Amino acid sequence: MNDRLSAQQITPSFFAEPFQPPVGLQNPHVQTILSSVGRKVLKAKWQQSFLSQAQVREISVADVKLVVHINFQNSPSDQTPLVMMIPGWLGNVDSTYVLSGAHALWQSGFNVVRINLRDHGDTAHLNSGLFHSALIDEVVALVEYLMAEFPKSPAGLIGYSMGGNFALRIAKKIPSLSTLAICPALSPEDTMLKISGNIIYEQYFMRKWRGLWSKKQAAFPELYNFKDAMNLSSVTALTDYFVKYHTDYDNTDDYFAAYDLCGDGLNGVTAQILAAADDPIIPAKYYANVPDSIALDWVAKGGHGAFLENWQFDSWCDRYSCAFFQHALSNEVRLL
């Protein structure tokens, strides 16, 4: 294996606290599942207040409408650092990992923007066209729009899983961004195969994808009828159906190739990646050959973007993210 993955734990210069999950939270599937389900049940006390303070905005860019939720500092200056967040596939601004990360960043002194990709987060009615993961131009346009609204603010971008894939592609187009990708999906095809190989993950994503299509059909009944798709029994079958009938790509291979970041896909990108060796969804081998322009922090355990460090389900990743952006954007924001 490449030397970049040979270390069990790499401690970056900006964050000296290694991740050490407690007994009972060391299994990657336990980490991954509890990061979502557990934190939905054990809701943090700050959530209601944090959500109520968010400014919800609908922004028109690149001929689409996208929704963002912004939490400003109580007394922001025009130079308060800005961090934009992109959830994973079928996640949204209220996903548990996005909320906990956003709250930690906000507490550390950043203005924080949580982004809903097209159709995500109950926005299926806003645009007639369907979301797919190769749609990068509209997200680049949104990020540029937000940066223009805060012209004096240093800007950062964080993406999780498929959102990490988006973040890395955006970093290639906007090099001035300080970009962090958490367990990014570098190989879309292999990510799909990993999901399809685990009945829990496959059923979870199939349920969410079908739910999105149901909302799309309800909003645009003259354009969509997903009856046949609802009878398909695997995420691979759903993907093949979707590509054939609802994208301009000739086949699934061409679709995946449009946003695959293996090979030379990351050439010219400057960014930070945090990844876990035991990630059950993103195979470790795809991080082995990322270019030297990308700093890779490699952690032995953590599951898929979870990094739960206690039984209150606090995520080490949130403190890591705060440290990264404090180091990259400002010496004045405070660390938790």
Percent of the chain with pLDDT over 70: 94
Top pLDDT among 334 and 89 is at 89
Residue 334 has pLDDT above 70, yes or no: no
Q: Which domain holds residue 53?
A: 3-188+265-329
At 61, which CATH number? 3.40.50.1820
pLDDT digits (tens, 9 = 90+) for 192-225: 999 998 999 999 999 999 999 999 999 999 999 9
Determine, yes or no, domain membership for 276: yes
Q: Would the pLDDT of 336 be above 80?
A: no
Residue 106 lies in a domain: yes
Taking every pair of Cα atoms in the chain, the longest distance, rounded to a whole number of angstroms, is 56
What's the total number of domains in the chain?
1
Most confident of 11-20, 171-180, 193-202, 322-331: 171-180
Pairing of strands 55-61, 155-160: unpaired
Cβ pair 166, 265 in contact under 8 A = no
Confidence band, pLDDT 50/70/90 cuts, at residue 167: very high
pLDDT interval class at 39 (50, 70, 90):
confident
In a domain, 231, yes or no: no
Q: What is the pLDDT of residue 258?
A: 95
Model confidence pTM above 0.85: yes
Mean pLDDT within 125-131: 96
Q: Is residue 19 part of a domain?
A: yes
Structure tokens of 54?
A: 């968010």
Residue 276 has pLDDT above 70, yes or no: yes
Is position 143 within any domain? yes
Q: Is residue 202 part of a domain?
A: no
Radius of gyration for the alpha carbons in the chain, expressed in angstroms and rounded: 19
Structure confidence by residue, pLDDT tens digits, 9-26: 455 567 778 888 999 999
What does the alpha-carbon distance between residue 310 and residue 325 come to, in Å, rounded to a whole number? 23
Q: What pLDDT is recorded for position 266?
A: 93
The residue-averaged pLDDT of 242-256 equals 95
225 is a domain residue? no
- Average pLDDT value over all residues in the chain: 90
297 pLDDT more than 60: yes
DSSP code at position 110: -
Q: What is the DSSP letter of 96?
A: H
DSSP state of 268: T
At residue 8, does pLDDT exceed 60? no
The answer to whether residues 177 and 143 touch, using CB atoms and an 8 Å cutoff, is yes
Q: Is the pLDDT of residue 332 over 50?
A: no
Residue 166 lies in a domain: yes
Q: For 314-332, what is the mean pLDDT?
A: 88
